[in-house]
Amino acid sequence: MADSSKKSLLGLTLTELKDVARQLDMPAFTGAQMAKWIYGRRVRSIEEMTDISKANRLRLAEHYEIGCHEPTDAQHSKDGTIKYLFPVSPTGKAGGPAEGQPQQFVETVFIPEENDRATLCVSSQVGCKMNCLFCQTGKQGFDGNLSARDILNQVYALPECDRLTNIVFMGQGEPMDNLESVLRATEILTADYAWAWSPKRITVSSIGVKGKLKRFLDESDCHVAISLHSPLTEQRASLMPAERAMPIKEVVDLLRNYDFSHQRRLSFEYIVFGGLNDSTAHAREIVRLLQGLDCRINLIRFHQIPGTPLKGADEQRMEAFRDYLTAHGIFTTIRASRGQDIYAACGLLSTAKKQKHETPS
C-alpha cells in the first residue's frame, strides 16, 4: 500500500516528472528517466531506477514513491476471467474523506479472449451517482472519484499487464463524471513517453453527461461506447435517471457531429431485459433513433443482482433482436457472457468487501 505521507509518481505526465526533477535540483533529463522506469518497466520502487544516481534516488524517495497498490483480492472464473479488487484513495467527494473512513475498493476485470487478445475492464469511481436500476455499483452510492494514479494502477499492478491488448472504461463509475482523471489516464496510456497504446485499443463508456461527453469527444481519439438500454424516453429514465438530464436523443444528436467512419469506433451497449426492452417495437425504435449513424450495437446478457425485479432475456429472444437490427443495417453482436461464477455483475465484489469492513467484529 502506498505511503500517504509521500506523493505518487504514477499518474504524472512527462512534463510533470521533469518539474519534479527540477524542483529537487536534479538534471532535466531525470524526468525522462523516471518516465522510462515507471511506464516502460513498471518498477515498484525508486531504488530500482538504477541509471539515476544514488544521491538523487535518495532525494527523490524522501518526497515521492511510485504509488503502486497491489490487488487485495482476486476471484478466478472457470472461463479464465479474473476479477481483481484494488484498494484506492478516492478524491472529489463533497467534504473530503472522513477520518477513520473504511478502506475503499474498486473492481477490475481481466478477460482473456481467443487469438491472444485480452481485455481489461477498469473502474473510474468508487460507487456512482447515476443510480441505474440494473447496476450494483449505483446502489453503493457515491464515495469519490479515482485519481489518474488509481485508474492507471489497475493496469500497472495487474499481474497480466503484459498480456493486455485492449482496455475498456466500463467498470464502476461513470467515466464522464470523472473526466479530468479519465483524460489524464488515457493521455498517459497513449503517450509516446509512457505506454504508447493506440487510442484504437481503448474504449470509454458513458451514459451521456451534458457538456462532459462533448469535451471527451473533442479531446480524445479513443473509442466511445454509449449505454443505451432502451430507446424509449420514459422507460430509459426508469432504468437510468440520467436520461432526464441528458436524453438519449440529445446524445445521438451530439454524436452526429463526429466522424466514426474511419479509425474511431462508436458503439451502443444494450442490456437485454426479458419482457421489458426486448420487443420488436424496441428494435424498431432503435433503428429509427440511430438511422444514418455509423455505429454498432453490443447486446449484453443481464447478470442478476440483489434487490431488483429485472431478469435476463432468453437466448432465442436475444438472437431475434440481433437479427432484426442487423437486417435493418445496424451491425449487432451478442457479447459473450463471462465470469458468471465470480461475482460477475459490476459492484458485487466491492460491495461485499465494503460491507465486511463496515461490519464491527
Sign of the Cα torsion 270, 272, 277, 278 reads: positive
Q: Which of 301, 311, 292, 290 is nearest to 333 (CA)?
A: 301
Instruction: Calculate the alpha carbon distances from 244 to 139, 142, 238, 280, 295 in Å.
Output: 19, 19, 10, 25, 24
Calpha distance 71→58 (Å, rounded)? 27
Find out whether 114 and 128 touch, Cβ atoms under 8 Å: no
Calpha distance 150→238 (Å, rounded)? 32
Among the listed residues 121, 128, 295, 346, the single catalytic one is 346
Find out whether 85 and 105 touch, Cβ atoms under 8 Å: yes
Active site residue 346: yes
DSSP-assigned states of every residue in 203-251:
EEEES--TTHHHHHHHH--SEEEEE-S-SSHHHHHHH-GGGGTS-HHHH
Calpha distance 76→69 (Å, rounded)? 20
Q: Which of 321, 258, 247 is nearest to 295 (CA)?
A: 258
C-alpha cell at 262: 474511419
Cα of first residue to Cα of last residue in the chain, in angstroms, is: 23
Helices (H) and strands (E) in the chain, counts: 12, 14
Among the listed residues 107, 174, 243, 269, the single catalytic one is 107
Pairing assessment for the beta strands 166-169 and 118-121 based on DSSP bridges:
parallel
C-alpha cell at 47: 531504488
Pairing assessment for the beta strands 296-301 and 331-334 based on DSSP bridges:
parallel
Find out whether 21 and 28 touch, Cβ atoms under 8 Å: yes
Burial of 133 (0-12, 13-18, 19+ CB in 10 A): middle
- Active-site residue list: 107, 346
